[in-house]
Structure 1
Amino acid sequence: MRALFPLLALGSSILLPGCIARTALDVVTAPVKVVSKAADLATTSQSEADEKRGREIRKREEQLGKLDRKREKLADKCDDGDSSACRDLEAVEAEMRALSPAVPVEPYRR
């Protein structure tokens, strides 16, 4: 048992300088990594901005589609004489008008 102790001490002394050097390197480069990460988070690339814009447009298009389906149902009820459906129909149409300018129109292609 006592014979193993010197071998372990020798083995760890060989490996220890590498660990210390690695730790020193990590400590020295840490501020650079933090600043680099902060700069990356603070800036938005053009592709990221385009992706965000595309998500926003798709979200508005989905909302407009939901409102259109709701408008169709309310229009049928309003035609059947339901006065509350007519009031709701006007509100839905107003919401659709407000949302429509934010959705780009695809050019017509033949």
Structure 2
Amino acid sequence: MKRTLLLSTPALMLVLSGCIARTAANVVTLPVRAGAQVVDWSTTSQEEADRNYGRKMRKQEARDARERKKEEEQRRRECRRAGYDNCG
């Protein structure tokens, strides 16, 4: 019984030392990782900027198209009121 305990103690020490070292490393690197995450949240990557710019431009183009269509319809109505035959 004592022999089994003696053999398992070094193995247990090796396993625990790795676990403790890993925990210590996690504790030490936690502030660095947290700081990096804050920087990532507060800055915009080039990919995000391109995506946002593309979205903004598509919305602007859609607004412009709606305005053009509205203006064309208004011109046609005014043309018909004026009594012209060919109001395009």
TM-score category of the 2 structures, normalised to the smaller one:
0.5 to 0.7
CA distance in 2, matches of 1:69, 1:79: 15
Quick check: 1:76 aligned with 2:72?
Answer: yes
- Who wins on radius of gyration, i.e. which is larger? 2
Tell me which amino acid in the other structure corresponds to 1:58: G
How far is the alpha carbon of 1:42 from its aligned partner?
2.4
- Corresponding residue for 1:39? 35
Quick check: 1:50 aligned with 2:72?
Answer: no
CA distance in 2, matches of 1:73, 1:23: 68
Kindly indicate which of the two structures has a greater share of residues assigned to helix. 2
| Deviations, residues 12-34 of structure 1 (Å, cap 9, x unaligned) | 55542222111111221122221
How far is the alpha carbon of 1:64 from its aligned partner?
0.9
Alignment TM-score, normalising by the size of structure 2: 0.58
Tell me which amino acid in the other structure corresponds to 1:62: R
Give the unaligned 5+ runs of structure 2: 79-88
CA distance change for structure 1 residues 10 and 75 in 2, over 3 Å: closer, same or farther?
farther
- Corresponding residue for 2:23? 27
| Deviations, residues 22-52 of structure 1 (Å, cap 9, x unaligned) | 11112211222211211211225xxx54333
Tell me which of the two structures has the higher relative contact order, counting C-alpha pairs closer than 8 angstroms and 6 or more residues apart: 1
**Aligned Cα RMSD in Å?**
3.2
Give the unaligned 5+ runs of structure 1: 1-7, 83-110
| Deviations, residues 36-88 of structure 1 (Å, cap 9, x unaligned) | 211211225xxx54333322221211111111221232123212328xxxxxx
Alignment TM-score, normalising by the size of structure 1: 0.49
